[in-house]
Amino acid sequence: MTYPELSIELTGLEMNNPTILAAGILGTTGASLKRIASAGAGAVVTKSIGAIPEQGHPNPSLVALECGLLNAMGLPNPSYKEFNDELMTAKEGDIPVIVSIFGSCCEEFCEIIEGLEGADAFELNLSCPHSQQYGAAVGTDPVLVEKITRAAKTTASVPIWVKLTPNVTDIVTIGEAASRGGADAVVAINTIRGMAIDIYSGYPILGNLYGGLSGAAIRPVAVKCIHDLYRALDIPVIGVGGVSRWQDAVEMMMAGASAVQIGSAIYDNFTVFSEINEAFLTYLISRDLIIDDIIGLAHRRVEQ
């Protein structure tokens, strides 16, 4: 369903609503992404795709904790060459398909971008906390972030989003680097480094020993990052981390998010997109607000 009240334009992409499937959740196949489109998402981000096939880390690769999920998938993907087919299928969902990509150097990012012509935008994963040479390994270095972003921007004819890791002393520095590199938007946050140990045996539970924490546990951390990025940057901030209810989406937008991504919440609730959108619509209408009224509202409250 399309409601004019929920429609947004984000880095040039037209979206029915401001909820987006987060990278790595049900984003392996085109059919799965189409299914998420039917479930009401305004856009979808694919699983992160690299230059060569990756098996990812050994299982267990994801466990649910009392608070949030802990995962170390390890970026399994069939490489961009195999992924073109899935992308074509995903696009039948008739909503923007953003392809998340990762690499270890500018050349790799550019090769992938050139190899995936159908993408409506690219999200550079500079933030996966549990991959040796990819992800956060490059995403904690502002110089690399700026360089890769610029290279991607030069190569691509579609918008470039840069996804940031919270596992840094100052996320704003990294956001600024992305912005200088020409990013059309930043996405915050990827998972927080975490670990769980099996107390019966002493073994770390994840096959990779440690991984990334997501879900409700990290929402306050995401809200703070979004808040700080919104204040510092002139490009849109896309919020992600622990959104599972419409209230969470509103909170993130008030912190400064132009749209929100949803990942872990799928675990409990496949209808999370449509539920959030419906409740959000009611919220806006009943208070006679438009989306722009609430984006960044927390900043305006404090300035008063």
Question: Can you tell me the distance from the alpha carbon of 109 to that of 162, in angstroms, rounded to the nearest whole number?
Answer: 12
The nearest distance, CB 70 to a copy of itself, in angstroms, is 6
User: Of 16, 17, 104, 190, which lies in the binding site for ligand FMN, with binding defined by CB under 6 A?
Assistant: 190
Choice from 221, 232, 279, 291 touching a copy of itself (CB under 8 A): 221
Compare residues 100 and 104 and give the one whose CB is closer to ligand FMN.
100
14-51 burial, b at 16+ Cβ within 10 Å, e below that, comes to ebbbbbbbbbbbbbbbbebbbbbbebbbbbbbbbbbbb
64: contact with a copy of itself by CB under 8 A: no
| Residue 243 contact among ligand FMN, a copy of itself, other proteins, none, beta carbon within 5 to 8 Å by kind | ligand FMN
The residues that bridge with 231 in the sheet, in sequence order, are none
**The amino acid at 233:** L
Q: Hey, what are 69's tokens?
A: 């999920």
Give the interface size with a copy of itself as a residue count (CB under 8 A). Answer: 43
128 is catalytic: yes
**Position among 31, 64, 88, 197 found at the interface with a copy of itself (CB under 8 A):** 197
Instruction: Give the largest Cα separation in the chain, rounded.
Output: 56
Task: State the residue for tokens 């496949």.
Answer: 270
- Give the 3-state secondary structure percentages of the chain, helix then strand then coil, rounded to 5: 40, 20, 40
Distance (Å) of CA 60 to CA 135, 182, 207: 20, 38, 5
From start to end of 232-279, where are the E strands?
A: 237-240, 257-262
Q: How far is the CB of 171 from other proteins (least distance, A)?
A: 24
CB atoms within 10 A of CB 176: 18
140 binds, among a copy of itself, other proteins, ligand FMN, none (CB under 5 to 8 A by kind): a copy of itself
Tokens of 176: 């600024």
Question: Between residue 90 and residue 119, which ones bind ligand FMN under the rule CB under 6 A?
Answer: 100
Residue 209: alpha-carbon gap to chain centroid: 23
Per CB under 6 A, which region of 17-25, 145-153, 173-181, 282-290 contacts ligand FMN? 17-25
For binding to a copy of itself (CB under 8 A), which residues are involved?
65-68, 70, 140, 167-169, 192-197, 199, 201-204, 209-210, 213, 216-221, 223-224, 227, 247, 250-251, 254-255, 294, 297-298, 300-302
For binding to ligand FMN (CB under 6 A), which residues are involved?
22-25, 47-48, 62, 69, 71, 73, 75, 100, 125, 128, 163, 190-191, 214-215, 218, 240-243, 262-265
The residues annotated as belonging to the active site are 128
